[in-house]
Amino acid sequence: MLATVAVGARPGTPVTGLGAVWVPNTGDGTVSKIDPSTNRTVATWRVGDAAAFYTKVCEPVGSVHSFMGTTFNVRRCDLPSALVTQANQLWAAGNDTNSIIGLDPISGRPRVTIPIGVTPFDLAADDASVWVTSYWDDAIVRVDTASEKVVAIIREPGQGPSGVAASGNTVWVANSRAGTVVRIDRPSSQVTATIPLPCREPCPIGPTPLAIAATSKAVWVRNEQSGTLSRIDPQTNQVVATIDVGAFDGRAGLDAMALTSSSVWLSGTRLQRIDSGATAVSGTLDVAAFTLGSGFGSLWVTDVQGRILRIDPQRAGAR
């Protein structure tokens, strides 16, 4: 453990880039900026009024916390639900306005708000675009950041797109309700493959994939209901390994994976490490985490007390 950092209310998945660690405070409509050289929060910027959003939009249709645990509706009113860095800008999901918001990483000033027409769930970016999934609207939206316009919408009725990752000319999306991963060709914005994920019996509602991470050599997807991690070969679009990692006992719809040079790390009641090419969990660390990210040679973990923990993965001593 290198540091413990205080941030805002109900922090979500940390992201790194533009010289900082960025945390979406999903319960209070703000973003925290952590300086990795000092391990301190150096700024907190508001992107929306989370309390007003919840009161006016969510409560009239019933508490989002009353939905079944097998859906991710509990996250509909997170603000912001996700962040991503791209070029010289930080992008935040504007769940209250069905938009993405471009923030200046130095001043925190909102530079642009781009309507996307759906409620955002997760964000990923390549060098020219931001990709947005909408679990509730069954859509994947591509925003061209040069023109600041939506250039493609992929409709997926009943599929529940959630986790999204970009690697090279490919975008990978976990379809939580369908139990699949789709491969999208970046130049054409077309789905080029749909990959079914295995599910251990009994499996009444499917594997429920959510967290996804990708490199040029492997795509990793965590299946929340079946308690497994699947590795997809991007050369063949086939699942080549499925590893038992246990169910995610955390906030519904909030989970992530962190990639280091040689391993994949998973959040949960303890951190789990899977080394590249492994067919079983390679080690565990007794840190309870809702979600996590990686960067600056460290894991950045959101713990159950709402703090960000900085952990050195090389010295973590995972058993």
Domain-embedded: residue 291: yes
Give residue-wise pLDDT tens across range 140-153. Answer: 999 999 999 999 99
pLDDT of residue 319: 62
User: Residues 10, 306: contact at Cβ < 8 Å?
Assistant: yes
Domain annotation covers residue 317: no
User: Three-state SS string across 208-226, please?
Assistant: CEEEEEECCCCEEEEECCC
The answer to whether residues 291 and 299 touch, using CB atoms and an 8 Å cutoff, is: no
Q: Is residue 272 domain-resident?
A: yes
Given pLDDT bands bounded at 50, 70 and 90, which one contains residue 64? low
- Does residue 155 form part of some domain? yes
Tokens of 49: 């009024």
Report the domain count for the chain: 1
- The answer to whether residue 271 sits within a structural domain is yes
Q: Is residue 319 part of a domain?
A: no
What is the per-residue pLDDT across 165-215, written as a single tens digit (0 to 9) for each?
Answer: 999 999 999 999 999 999 999 999 999 999 999 987 778 889 999 999 999
In a domain, 68, yes or no: yes
Domain span holding position 13 = 3-311
Q: Is residue 87 part of a domain?
A: yes
CATH number of the domain where residue 196 is located: 2.130.10.10
